[in-house]
Amino acid sequence: MVVRQRRALLATTLGAVVALSACGGAAESSSGDTTLVVKTFSQFGYDELYAEYEASHPGIKIKEENIGKLGDYLPKLQQWLATGKGAGDVVAIEEGILSQFVAKPGQFVNLLDHGAAELKPNFLEWKWEQASTPDGSKVVGLGTDVGAQGMCYRTDLFAQAGLPTDREEVGKLWPTWDAYLATGKRFKEAGTGAGWYDSSGGLYQNILMQQGDHTYYDTSNKLVIDSNPGVRKAWDQTIEMVKAGLSANIEQWSPQWNAGFKNGTFATIPCPSWMLGTIEKQAGPENKGKWDVARVPGEGAVRGGSFLAVPTQSKHQKEAAELVKFLTSAKGQTAAFKSKNNFPSSPQAIDDPAVQGYTNPFFNDAPVGKIFGESVKALKPVYLGPDNNPIGDRVGNALLAVEQGKLQPDEAWAKAVDDAKRLVK
Amino acid sequence: MTQLRHADPLPPVTTPVAAPPEQPRTGWRARLSRAEVTWSPYLFIAPFFVIFAVFGLFPLVYTAWVSLHDWDISGAGAFVGLDNYVTLFNDPDFWNAVFNTLGMLVLATVPQLLMALVLASLLNQKLRGMTFLRMGVLLPIVTSVAAVGIVFSQIFDRDAGMVNGLLGLVNVDAVDWRADKWSSWTAIATMVNWRWTGYNALIYLAAMQAVPRDLYEAATVDGAGKVRQFWSITVPNIRPAILFTVIMSTIAGMQLFTEPLIFGQGGFAISGGSLRQFQTVSMYMFEKAFRDFDYGYGSAVAWMIFLLITLLGVVNFLVSRRSR
């Protein structure tokens, strides 16, 4: 009986979960080199930069540990920080969770102590401020990319449906989201069997980020999900699309979604710049040239974007801070852009002809530097409050329930608002 | 479940060496040898208790401590007493998760144990290739849970899944398995059943082989058929094995986590469906602690799971005692 109990206790106990998963972390290589462990999610495109840095810094080895989904990465990151072990030397932080770290900056090295102050002109001003404490005395992380928006589409499905395939003309099809909806209806009538877009959650997120300077929270961190007209507008716009039957109902980041890029299950997907790397990876080389990028409907806005930070638990804080400065430099950002299209947050990199003139061979040589660059120029920073991501998850679930036919739009909206209020309370 | 059986090998039974009786020793030597006789058994069983204290008892008590606080990512906050538990009792998402867990527990345990009984009695016959068949039923346990979850998630996929394909052959509409409680529970219970039926069958088989043959011979002489023999002789005689499997399945079922998590899709899979159709209590605990970063609340959920398992264990025990 004791044995059985022990197992029950073990597995039901949070402490045990933490104890089990906290293994693994910074490793010291046997040769006496310093190994810096970099934790990332999705695609950061740093492989060549690591090689270059290792070559110019003898005695430094870099090991990247990547987790595919941001949703899987976040709980891990929290565990590493809470247990004081496993976060390695450099961690990537997505903008949606950054604000809670800025509010409690103690877990990260203040990069101002490592000479970051002089780098301020190297970043878009709001990007720098996002990672600074309000009094400006601490900087938690340095910006990597900004999620400039675009709209990716399948040229072969567009051709089948009798729509133009040239990206200039495609962009003219949808100056607004209403026009995007109308084009979707045309596409659906053509009967290709594919969905117009992948899932309502992602589409909603893109529309939402175009609705002004804040979303679920106002800048004093008060929850305004039900009083901010922008949120409701994005929701209603998305519901129109669901009602028209345009969604392929495939959840983002699911295996079916990954396969959808290959199989052409959906014709368009709102794609922030950082998503291009994912699309290329999932669609595979055999689909080279079938995907293309056009301008996004509506006003350009940011969706996503990340920072690099050095956790205080790192044993090599100085070396790690140097690496962060290198990776987030204009040169580093340009290289990451060329590798995975993560769009730079450094004005110097954005104006770099290498970025402006860059065309992506996988996407029919689309001039992604120019397309995303235009979107970034129109960019206004959007303030995201402390529980932005969990609230976004709940609104996404409510939209999914509408797609599944389980809730009426009004019921789903009420549920999303109620869930958000219960979460924040 | 398998690792249990070898987790704690009994310490070797050693007879404490008695002091040689012939010559009277000085006082401290005699005392030492008496102490050895008295204390050495405790020393032998100590490793288990030390490990249990470190990995079992400490986390348990510590979790209880955390659950009494407003504890977030930055560490311990204010002591809030039982506030977390009060909130928990009024939390519809928690009760939904309890309901889901119990539902899947029933769907996964009852058919599983019945199938295991039938399978065991079949394996208890004289068959050709006996060893092969007995090993065969064990194979699913060797498979990793994650692999089972991934494969079955594809089998139960809405657009390209095998089950919907087969349903299509008999003109049944495709089912969106993740959209409803009944369908998602069925899919998840199928994974659990597939994995554990053989394991339970082997436990039953071992118990069945210890049932004296002459009982069956006497029953045959009295004219009882195979089915009657099964219910009147086999089942009552393997009752302890059945009780063991019921308790083990209950404990495992209350902690169901990996299968529904992998079955769920996308970045917010931990919510177990758009309306939390298949979120279990373990998933809810994880969501609260490691997604919403409310460690105090997550710990309160963890303690509720522990209490629920204890409660169900006691119920199992009482039911089995009454029916003895």
Domain of B159, CATH number, reads 1.10.3720.10
CA distance B200 to chain A (A): 16
Which residue intervals of A133-199 are DSSP H helices?
155-160, 167-173, 177-189
Same domain, B143 and B265: yes
Cα B316 to chain centroid, rounded: 14
Confidence of residue A100 (pLDDT cuts 50, 70, 90): confident
Cβ separation of A6 and B52 shorter than 8 Å?
yes
The C-alpha atoms of residue A224 and residue A217 are separated, in whole angstroms, by: 5
Give the model's confidence band at B303: pLDDT under 50 very low, under 70 low, under 90 confident, else very high.
very high
Q: Same domain for B23 and B122?
A: no
Give the angle subtended at the CA of A93 by the CAs of A89 and A97, to the nearest 5°.
135
Q: Give the DSSP letter string of A393-413.
A: HHHHHHHHHHHTTSS-HHHHH
Note the pLDDT of residue A9. 41
Contacts of B150 in chain A (CB under 8 A): 255
Q: Do the domain assignments include residue B39?
A: yes
d(CA B178, CA B198): 27
Q: What is the pLDDT of residue A307?
A: 95
B110 with B169, same domain: the answer is yes
Tell me which H or E stretch contains A368: helix A368-377
Is pLDDT of A32 > 80? no
Look at A8 and B306 and tell me if their CB atoms are within 8 Å.
yes
Which chain A residues are Cβ-neighbours of B66 within 8 angstroms? 14
Q: Do A78 and B290 touch (CB under 8 A)?
A: yes
Flag if B292 and A12 touch (Cβ within 8 Å).
Answer: no
Best of B69, B268, B306 to disrupt the A interface (most A CBs within 10 Å) is B268
Does residue A113 register a pLDDT over 80? Answer: yes
Q: What is the ipTM of this complex?
A: 0.79
The rounded percent of chain A whose pLDDT value lies above 70 is 92
Indicate the pLDDT class of residue B265, thresholds 50, 70 and 90.
confident
Q: Could you tell me if B95 and B17 lie in one domain?
A: no
Tell whether B25 and B165 lie within a shared domain: no
The confidence score (pLDDT) of residue B28 equals 85
- HSE, CB side, 13 Å, CA atoms: give it for residue A109: 29
Same-domain pairing of B33 and B162 = no
- Yes or no, beta carbons of A12 and B309 under 8 Å apart: yes
- Of A163-167, B20-24, B320-324, the one with minimum mean pLDDT is B20-24
Q: Give the pLDDT confidence score for residue A399 in this predicted structure.
A: 95
Domain boundaries, position B138: 88-322
Percent of chain A at pLDDT > 90 equals: 61
**pLDDT higher than 60, residue B19:** no
Enumerate the residues of chain A whose CB falls inside 8 A of the CB of residue B63. Answer: 13-15
Asked whether residue B295 falls in the same domain as residue B235, the answer is yes
Closest residue in A to B65 (Cα–Cα): A15
Find the helix or strand (DSSP H, E) in which A149 lies.
strand A141-154
The B residues from 4 to 23 touching A (CB cutoff 8 Å) are: 4, 7-8
From A7, A70, A254, residue closest to B265, measured CB to CB: A254
CATH fold for domain A147-302+366-424: D-Maltodextrin-Binding Protein; domain 2 (3.40.190)
Angle, helices A409-424/A229-243, rounded to nearest 10 degrees:
140
Q: Cα-flanking dihedrals φ and ψ of residue A286, to 5°?
A: -70, -15
> Could you tell me the CATH superfamily of domain A2-146+305-356?
Periplasmic binding protein-like II (3.40.190.10)
CB contact under 8 A, B248 and A15: no
Identify the closest residue of chain B to A423 by CA–CA distance. B292
- Domains in chain B, number: 2
Picking from A12, A82, A250, the nearest residue to B306 by CB comes out as A12
More confident residue, A68 or B19: A68
Shortest CA gap A26–chain B (Å): 21
Residue B42 and residue B103 in one domain = no
Q: Are residues B40 and B123 in the same domain?
A: no
pLDDT at A197: 96
What are the extents of the domains in chain A? 2-146+305-356, 147-302+366-424
Give the number of beta-carbon pairs within 8 Å between A and B. 133
What pLDDT is stored for residue A321 in this prediction?
A: 95
